[in-house]
Structure 1
């Protein structure tokens, strides 16, 4: 059963709460659009006979789970960005999951050491570079974005957005507070315009000649190429995978966690293990233009065409702990001002 994002969500959620836990069901709360998950849930149901009920939440997952308490029908939460996963964990709304299958499929850097969340796919925070105005090799590191040579040439969305805060947290992890503050000030000084819009809007700005490089997530390239209006924007840029001077490319994840009061715990574990499998990760990564993380799995042909990279090895939970400090530094330098 697929729950509509808006019009029927309230009714569907009420039905989930009112109904007793069913042996052949598992209930999933997600910030991801249901249509993006349908290929996965259909494959799981076909393989196991277990029905997946998906409730899409635009926001407020922690508040929803807190309000429902022990009555919550949710078995699992699935979302993007380590900050959203860690928020559910930090609120005490998850339980640790230990599974040999999950441990074999998910590298240590992409799951909580205590088992409260498990990564499924990754996306890299990259540089979109104008094909016409940027030569290969001109930008290679995140540190380089603060170089005065880029003055008036960089576009980005708000520095306080979760994606950019995660990148700043990674910089803080590698370089410490003072160096991170200096870097943020340098990047701000190089902006072509006030931070605004989403990641796609930055690519549009490059296409329009407003800037030469921008910071964004890899999967937006796939989404733009599928949109007739935005395809021309995407085709005006190359993807560049910067690295930290003492590390790799910054990545974030989509991930899954079992709720504290999961009523269908056994089925929920089966779904978690399925989602981590090479088969499911291939489906998910191709549908969302992301990178699967299970050993031996490969991205889709389009994603593969963007090139390969070495992901930074820091555990994302360590970065999640640095997010408050990263956000404070971003606000201290008035990055969006």
Structure 2
């Protein structure tokens, strides 16, 4: 395995940074220095404020933010307990949604709007969280170096362990929820032994590990890597900025289980001081604000009445692997252990 250099951020530094954010003026807010009507803990960073600006215009409610990693924000909620200022928890991973609910941090919601807007497969059976956007983790490749006919259409992820890909692969690091949930989905689909064989196959092909999807796409475009696994919306954002990007997408495993997808979603914090307002925000994001929420970041909407933006729609329809949030949450530790066991950093 080859690993690209990246800076390491200590947990204490992250906590200190978050603490500094809430000292003094309180939050990263849209409504000035005064605390807003709603406080959102969000692991989803990209273009989030614009969607909430529209919510503020529509409702007159001010929204403030704390940003961080999914697991960091969940630990913060648990540490703050009943004293947390958070009203809504927004995460970018179905496993983390499940964990937040399982650990008692999210409140059940009775909402006809949410039931009508979010398909049952993308919400908690006990109504503690609701998916808001879909992101596919699939194959990207350099078309000058790869004929898409080379890919295994039955199990594309496993097929990347074929020796023909040796020295040609680059992937995201093991600390990311995207990597962990992909591996958890492989464990859920194939069992631990087979999933480990798949990841070991990547390692045997001398995979180059990088710290973010943008670096992966840049490596593909530059020809220093032939094939990568990326979230589709990173590709869409790069393509929007550079229409000449020398990278193509391939929908994985279309003759098999389908392409791995994950959820960006939210739930109302159990200790919220404003649960009715938080529910209003959650409902808005799933209905009237859905197009704005997903469009700026080129994600797929969960609301079936909302269409993806034109660029994402141009990627074509594809078969999605069913999302098992409980499995992603329960198998996360096993996925992390598996990655460590094979030396995937």
Same fold (TM over 0.5): yes
Determine helix, strand or coil for the equivalent of 1:97. Answer: coil
| Match of residue 137 from structure 2 | 125
1:137–1:97 Cα change, 3 Å? farther
2:51 maps to which residue?
40
Q: CA deviation digits over 1:201-259, x for unaligned, max 9? A: 112222232221001111111332355xxx38x71110111027642211111111111
Q: 1:254 aligns with which of 252, 264, 271?
A: 264
Matches within 5 A, 1:195-210: 195-210=209-224
Q: Say yes or no: does 1:54 pair with 2:65.
A: yes
Residue 31 in structure 1 maps to residue 43 in structure 2:
yes
1:73 aligned to 2:88?
A: no
Q: 1:191 to 1:112 in 2, by over 3 A?
A: farther
User: Equivalent residues in 2 for 1:249-328 (5 A)?
Assistant: 249-277=259-287, 279-328=288-337
C-alpha deviation, 1:51, in angstroms: 2.5
Q: How does 1:161-200 map to 2 (within 5 A)?
A: 161-193=176-208, 195-200=209-214
* TM-score, normalised via structure 2 length: 0.84
How has the CA–CA distance of structure 1 residues 216 and 71 changed in structure 2, closer, same or farther, with 3 Å as cutoff?
A: same
Native 8 Å contact 2:95 2:325 kept in 1: no
CA contact (8 A) 1:93 1:259 kept: yes
**Structure 2 unmatched ranges of 5 or more:** 1-17, 30-34
Judged with a 3 Å threshold, the aligned counterparts in structure 2 of structure 1 residues 244 and 174 are, in CA distance, closer, same or farther, namely: farther
* Residues 98-177 of structure 1 mapped to structure 2, 5 A cutoff: 98-139=110-151, 140=153, 141-177=156-192
Deviates more, 1:83-92 or 1:280-289: 83-92
Mark the CA change 1:15 to 1:241 in structure 2 (over 3 Å): closer, same or farther.
closer
* Cα pair 1:127 1:241 within 8 Å, conserved: yes
| Equivalent in the alignment of 1:19 | none
Alignment length, in residue pairs? 320
Question: In structure 2, how many angstroms separate the alpha carbons of the residues matched to 1:219 and 1:286?
Answer: 10
**What SS does the corresponding residue of 1:28 show, helix, strand or coil?**
strand
| Inter-partner Cα distance in structure 2 for 1:128 and 1:314 | 21
Listed one character per residue, the Cα deviations across residues 268-289 of structure 1 (whole Å, up to 9, x for unaligned) are: 1111111111x31211111111
1:245 and 1:178 map into 2 onto residues whose CA distance is: 22
Report the CA distance between 1:39 and its aligned residue.
2.3
Q: Pick closer, same or farther for the CA change 1:84–1:125 going to 2, 3 Å.
A: same
Following TM superposition, by how much is the alpha carbon of 1:192 offset from its aligned partner in structure 2, in angstroms? 4.5
Question: How far apart in 1 are the matches of 2:68 and 2:230?
Answer: 24
CA distance in 2 between partners of 1:162 and 1:275 (Å): 23
> Over the residues paired in the alignment, what is the CA RMSD in angstroms?
2.6
Residue deviations 1:39-81, cap 9 Å, x none?
2222222323333233334673123323332222211111212
**1:311 Cα offset (Å):** 1.6
Q: 2:100 corresponds to which residue?
A: 88
SS at 2:134 equivalent: strand
- Distance, in Å, in 1 between the alignment partners of 2:75 and 2:150 is 45
Alpha carbons 1:142, 1:244 under 8 Å: kept? no
User: How far off its partner does 1:146 sit?
Assistant: 1.6
Q: Quick one: structure 1 residues 211 and 107, their matched pair in 2 at CA, closer, same or farther if it must change by over 3 Å?
A: same
Asked if structure 2 preserves the Cα contact closer than 8 Å seen for 1:121 and 1:255, the reply is yes
Structure 1 residues 79 and 242, CA, compared in 2 at 3 Å: closer, same or farther?
A: same
